[in-house]
Structure 1
Amino acid sequence: MSLLKQTTLRYRGHGHLRFDLPATFPEEARRQLALILRRRDGIYRVSLASKPGKLSLRYQPELMSFEQALQAVAEALCSAATTPPSEEPPRPGPPWRRALGSGRHWIVAKSQEARETADALRIVARQRLANPWMAPGTARTVFNDLLILYLIKTHWSLVYRYWLRRPFEHKNHWVALTYLLFLLLRARRAHLG
C-alpha cells in the first residue's frame, strides 16, 4: 500500500491542515518531510507532534490553494520516503532546546522581527526627537511611521512576488494600499499645515 493511501487528512481549516502519517514512516523520513515542506513557498509552519505520525501544516491561502497544499504534501512524502538517511546523527543539544523543537524557529524569527522593529524605532525616534520643541502630535506621527514600516516589512515579499505580477487578481489589496496612502498623506498635510 502506498504512503499516500496510508496518510490521512485529519483536519482542514483556513490555512491549516493536520495529517496522520503511516505508522511505518521512519523518524528520519519524518524530519526530512518537515524540512522539505518548510522550504516550500507559501508554507510558513510545519510541526511534527511528539507522538509519532502527527503532522500539522500552516500555509498562506493567498499564496497557495488547498489543492496546491495537498500536492506539496504528496510530493514531499514521496521525496522524503526515497531520500536516504543523512550520515551525520542529529546533535542532541541541551534538553531545553530539544523540548522547544520546531518552536525554536518561531522564537528566532520573532526575536529577529523585534530587533528590526527596535532599530526602526531608534531611527525614527532619533529623527523626531532631534528637535527639543516637539509639536503636540509628534508621538502619534512616530507611531504611524512605525506602523507603516511594519506593514511595508511584512507585505513587501507579497507585493513584489504576487501583487505586481497579477494586479487584477489582487485588486482588493491595491485598493486597501491606496486608501492607506491617502490617509497617510492627509495626516501629514494636516500635521504640516
Structure 2
Amino acid sequence: MAIQKEFVLRYRGSEHVRFEIPSAFCDEQIAEALTGRLLAVDGVYRVQVYRSQRKLAIRYQETVHDFTGLCKLLFQIVSELEKDALAETRPKAVQIAKQRLKNRLKNVKAFRWFGNKYDDAKETLQAAKIVGKGLTKPGKFFKDPEKMVIDFLNDMLVLFLIRLHWDHITKEWIPRPFKYRYEWMAVFYMIYLLMRSRRPKP
C-alpha cells in the first residue's frame, strides 16, 4: 500500500472526486493506462489526469459505486499497474547490472590476462586440430608411429612460435624486412628443416 498512500484526496463532491497523485503516475503511458483501467469500471464515466498539476479527477455514479468502493477499486488498479511496471523494469535492471559487472571484470588486469590467454589457447587448439588431421588417416600412425609423433610435435612447435611472434611479424618484420633480416633467415631455416623432415626416407 506504499504507492496508494501517495494518492491524497483533495476534493470530494457529489459523484466527483479529485486526488493528488505521485509523479510516477504522471508519465504519459502510465497515465493513459490508469485512465483506461478506470473507464473500464462500471459506473465511472469520466477520468482526467492533469499530469502537469499531478491531479486525477474522476466522475462516477454513486448508484453503482459509493466513495469507499470507488477508492478500493482505484487502489487495486494502482497496485496492478505498479506490479506491471516492476515486472517490465526488473529484467532490464538485471541485464544492465550484469553488463556493468561484465565491463568491470574486463577492465581488471587479471581478467584481461586470463581472457587473452584463453583466446590464445583457443586459437592454438584450432590450429592443432588442423595439423592433427593427418593422424586420423587409417594405418598411417601404425606404420611409423615415431615419425608421426615427431612431425606432430614439430608442427606444434612451429605453430607456437608463429603465435608467439605474430605481432612482431605483422607489425615489425614485414614492414622492415632488412632490419630484421636475421629473424627472417631463422624463419627460412626453420621452414627448410621442417620440409626436410617431411621428405620420405630413401
TM-score normalised per structure 1: 0.44
Larger radius of gyration: 2
Higher helix share: 2
The structure with higher relative contact order (CA 8 Å, sep 6+) is 1
